Amino acid sequence: EAGVAQSPRYKIIEKRQSVAFWCNPISGHATLYWYQQILGQGPKLLIQFQNNGVVDDSQLPKDRFSAERLKGVDSTLKIQPAKLEDSAVYLCASSQSGANVLTFGAGSRLTVL
């Protein structure tokens, strides 16, 4: 089966600019996650969707980060305006509803200058 697709793989922007990342999960996976992985750290959950509804966004910095999954399939994560500390790899993952095994995409590496 096709894996979790993410784009772009790399993005370099200046602080205060905006950026958007796209994720296409595995077909049939109802649950979608966005994780932030800062260099040298483990991934940290930003937001979890179940179909097109938000299950948990408690760790999403809502003053600058937003995410949507309008049709319950693809998802977009946006950062506006970006800060230097947002430099990280943004990982998208998906799973079947209620499953505890996640499949991760290759990630989108963001560098904020």
- When binding is defined by CB under 8 A, the residue of 45, 52, 76, 81 that contacts other proteins is 45
Q: How far is residue 108's CA from residue 15's CA, in Å, rounded to a whole number?
A: 17
Report residue 37 CA to chain centroid gap. Answer: 10
Q: Count other C-beta atoms under 10 Å from residue 78's C-beta.
A: 14
Q: Closest CB to other proteins among 19 and 48?
A: 48
Which residues are CB-contacts of 42 (< 8 A; sequence separation ≥ 6)?
none
- When binding is defined by CB under 8 A, the residue of 26, 66, 102, 111 that contacts other proteins is 102
Q: Closest CB to other proteins among 17 and 30?
A: 30
Could you say whether residue 97 binds other proteins (CB under 8 A)? yes
CA distances from 107 to 11, 63, 98 (A): 11, 23, 23
Stretch that binds other proteins, among 17-25, 26-34, 69-77, 79-87 (CB under 8 A): 26-34
Q: Residue 31 corresponds to which tokens in the numbers above?
A: 């649950």
Could you say whether residue 1 binds other proteins (CB under 8 A)? no
**Which spans of this chain sit near other proteins (rule: CB under 8 A)?**
3-4, 30-31, 33, 40-45, 48, 50, 55-56, 91, 93, 95, 97-107
